[in-house]
Amino acid sequence: MAPSPSLDPTPTESTPTVQFLTPEGELVTSGPAEEYASYLERLTDDDLRAFYRHMVVVRRFDLEGANLQRQGEMALWVPSHGQEAAQVGSAFAARSQDHIFPSYREHAVGLVRGIDVLSIVELLRGNTHGGWDPTDPTNGNFHGYCLVIGSHTLHATGYAMGMQRDGVVGTGDPEVDAAVLCYFGDGATSQGDVSEAFVFSASSQTPNVFFLQNNHWAISVPVRVQSRTPLYLRSRGFGIPSVQVDGNDVLASYAVTAKHLDDARSGKGPQFIEALTYRVGAHTSSDDPTKYRDEDVHNLWVSRDPIARFEKYLRAKGEGDAFFDEVRTEADDFAADIRRRTLVLEAPPLGTIFDHVYSEPHPVMAEQKLWLERYEASFEEEQA
């Protein structure tokens, strides 16, 4: 895949990017993709339709979130526009027993794993710092968002160390063997915690798959400021094998992640995937990309849109208007439901401040909670 000259590090001659779908939506298996081709054979037509459906629904969700933010319903919105293929493909590659440690832009992954993405609205609205319970099996082992860049990569590594101790790695039983899939961005690769996660995971040979979505921007700073070499090379000095994949190709994202999750589950140690993609929207609703982005590069990436590409592929395979119309309607209904439920969200109770700071009784929390309740009640008495 052609780099973006003004954003990327100096390309190396040998950069091998795994791609199955050309931007025109043609399926081509050649070069570095050949190693992964067998993983596509696992996919049924229903799977392919599910990939498309999730990508479209999450983009519509993203648009609704942005609109709700502009209408004052949230202080902040974090868009995922443009990264749908990287997220949906990799998320579908994970098995139910795998655990996911997201950064904070993985709305599509959360949707695939089964969380109610209204929780993301609640988080960004200021109703909660978390939102979904990762210990509830219906949430697909999707752990909480983590806003301190890169810090969760160590949690993912420790979690995988626990899996090793629990004997759920390398048993050969596909229903038992598990791995941890951890998402982060190009900016995070500069954080010390990410390097330490590589050190610890390599040292213990943990079942981690580190999935880097290189969306080319850390807020306003292009990826070439983070690295002088392509980022997929970053992990190799730590002894972690790596691959670069076209992150706007949902099939490549799926196949590459499936293969490396298999490797991790089977006891081959940590794996690193760099998915090349692009943040079409702003970093967040507080950002202004017009101050820094190159419109030519931007337009180039918009032309590589992952959903449009996959739609061309599905149409060439024979999928007709009825399916695409149905998905569009489903996405609109989904967004309308999110809007409806957002507008009736109420502020959390006062106890939220104190109730879970500690898991066991704590005299200061009890005392301050009581004080605040009485203080608040004193105003009601005055009004009475």
- Interatomic CA distance for residues 107 and 78, integer angstroms: 9
Q: Pick the closest to residue 61 from 87, 36, 38 (CA basis).
A: 87
List 42, 129, 236, 292, catalytic entry: 292
Q: Which is nearer to another protein, 48 or 197 (CB)?
A: 197
CB of 66 to another protein, least distance (A): 24
CB of 72 to another protein, least distance (A): 25
Closer residue to another protein in complex, CB, 11/348: 348
Smallest distance from the beta carbon of 212 to another protein, in angstroms? 18
Q: Assess whether 279 carries a catalytic annotation.
A: yes
| Contact by Cβ (8 Å): 104, 78 | yes
Q: Which of 279, 298, 304, 309 is catalytic?
A: 279
Rounded to 10 deg, the angle between the 306-317 and 45-70 helix axes is 150
Cβ-based nearer residue to another protein, 11 or 351: 351
Enter the tokens of residue 263: 């490797």
Count Cα atoms within 13 angstroms, Cβ side, for 74. Answer: 27
Q: How far apart are CB 366 and another protein at their closest, in Å?
A: 10
Q: Which residues bind another protein (CB under 8 A)?
A: 128-130, 133-136, 143-144, 146, 148, 151, 153-166, 192-193, 196-197, 199-200, 203, 355-360, 362-364
**Which residue, 29 or 190, is less far from another protein as judged by CB?**
190
Residue 341 annotated as catalytic: no
Q: Are 248 and 280 in contact (CB under 8 A)?
A: no
Nearest to 68 by CA among 341, 318, 351: 341
Nearer to another protein, 193 or 311 (CB): 193
Q: Cβ 347 to another protein, closest distance in Å?
A: 15
Q: Catalytic positions, please? A: 279, 283, 292
